């Protein structure tokens, strides 16, 4: 028998370190070639590290949330003598101690026992607040639920499977009870990247937000007609491709909005290409996949690419290239979009367009009160680069295109 040491591979593009965001194996597990061992993250892109050998996991080289340098030891696997590529060390370093149970089992010539669904998990199960609340309402002890998520995270589907197999527990009491429990949640993985990005943006950029009301009654009517005529053949259009089209046309008139500011070099780069970041909520947090060359896409091509990017982001499969290089960002909370928001600029861009929800309300028009579909645009700008007048004129141009949608198709 021998020891195969897997080191953190060089992922290219000058990456010197990565964050360990999930383990898929535990000490004592039997692994096969190409089986996923761990997930690491760099610049919001998650990379899966596979096993190059068949063997038994001896020890893990770090904890979830730890930052590892390229070349650092990631995991040690015991393999057959002919497969071993690294000699067994005379003494294990920090973090490489073999669990006593596994060592005793191997000395006795017995295979290491496989962990139960709860083994290897921290004393307090890993789950989102929404999952914890639902489990509480169902009277389910999360310690009894088998986890399928990365790093032992309990998902909503795991609760469904537990209820189907065992039923719900005693309903939670409706009487309020005093609580003194606390929950410490490490800020790791995507959540850490988001926190760093938001902090950098707010620290570097003097934001100002401009809000304008837009009558989208005609735009929604046009969208309904387009879907009725071509939706079955080309796919259903949401509001987003029409907003993308309006942004593409508006930045032609105001190129200072479609720009990136290198504040260290003191250089603003205005882009002819319109690479629109689409803020996308995922289970792990907010990601911004990039719709590249929006200026060259028609409505349906834009809609299809936005859907593909959103699906890749939510599945954790978006590539580094798909998550970088945007020149302007669109963000929307959909039906929960509220009345006004103050979106944070995606540094080093200089603007972000925020979309609030559409509401039908009475509007005075030509002396008569009529029902119209109204929507607010809440857009933030980098005041070092974009003057208030330019920002207002840009938003007014967007408003004009959206309120008179026939102009979206006139070059």
Active site residue 263: no
Residue from 34, 141, 321, 387 carrying the catalytic annotation: 387
Residue 44 CA neighbour count, 13 Å, CB half = 27
Residue from 207, 215, 271, 383 carrying the catalytic annotation: 383
User: Which is it for strands 280-282 and 285-287: parallel, antiparallel or unpaired?
Assistant: antiparallel
Distance (Å, rounded) from C-alpha 394 to C-alpha 411? Answer: 18
Backbone angles phi, psi at 74, to 5 degrees: -100, -45
69 burial type by CB count under 10 A (0-12 exposed, 13-18 middle, 19+ buried): exposed
Active site residue 4: no
Instruction: Write out the catalytic residue numbers.
Output: 383, 387
């Amino acid at each position: 028998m021998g020891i195969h040491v897997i080191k953190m591979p060089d992922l290219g593009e000058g990456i010197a370190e990565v964050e360990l965001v999930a383990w898929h194996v535990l000490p004592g597990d039997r692994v096969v070639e190409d089986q996923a061992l761990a997930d690491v993250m760099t610049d919001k892109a998650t990379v899966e590290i596979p096993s190059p050998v068949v063997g038994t996991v001896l020890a893990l080289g770090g904890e979830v949330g730890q930052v590892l340098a390229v070349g650092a030891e990631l995991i040690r696997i015991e393999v057959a003598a002919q497969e071993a590529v690294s000699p067994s060390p005379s003494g294990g370093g920090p973090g490489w101690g073999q669990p006593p149970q596994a060592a005793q089992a191997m000395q006795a010539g017995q295979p290491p026992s496989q962990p139960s669904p709860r083994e290897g998990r921290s004393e307090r199960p890993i789950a989102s607040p929404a999952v914890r609340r639902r489990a509480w309402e169902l009277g389910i002890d999360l310690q009894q639920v088998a986890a399928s998520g990365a790093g032992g995270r309990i998902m909503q589907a795991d609760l469904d499977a537990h209820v189907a197999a065992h039923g719900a527990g005693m309903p939670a009491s409706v009487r309020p009870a005093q609580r003194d429990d606390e929950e410490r949640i490490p800020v790791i993985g995507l959540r850490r990247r988001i926190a760093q990005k938001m902090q950098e943006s707010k620290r570097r950029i003097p934001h100002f937000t401009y809000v304008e009301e837009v009558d989208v009654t005609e735009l929604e009517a046009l969208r309904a007609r387009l879907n009725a005529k071509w939706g079955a053949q080309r796919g259903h259009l949401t509001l987003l491709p029409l907003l993308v089209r309006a942004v593409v046309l508006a930045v032609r008139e105001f190129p200072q909005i479609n720009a990136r500011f290198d504040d260290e070099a003191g250089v603003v780069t205005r882009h002819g290409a319109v690479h629109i970041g689409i803020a996308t909520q995922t289970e792990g947090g907010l990601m911004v996949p990039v719709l590249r060359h929006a200026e060259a896409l028609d409505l349906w091509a834009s809609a299809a690419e936005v859907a593909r990017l959103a699906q890749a982001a939510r599945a954790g499969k978006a590539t580094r290239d798909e998550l970088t290089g945007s020149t302007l960002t669109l963000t929307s909370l959909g039906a929960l979009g509220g009345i006004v928001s103050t979106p944070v600029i995606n540094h080093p861009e200089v603007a972000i367009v925020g979309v609030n929800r559409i509401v039908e309300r009475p509007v005075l028009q030509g002396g008569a009160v009529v029902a119209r579909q109204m929507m607010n645009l809440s857009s933030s700008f980098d005041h070092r680069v974009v003057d208030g007048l330019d920002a207002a004129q840009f938003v007014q141009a967007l408003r004009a295109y959206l309120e008179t949608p026939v102009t979206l198709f006139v070059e």
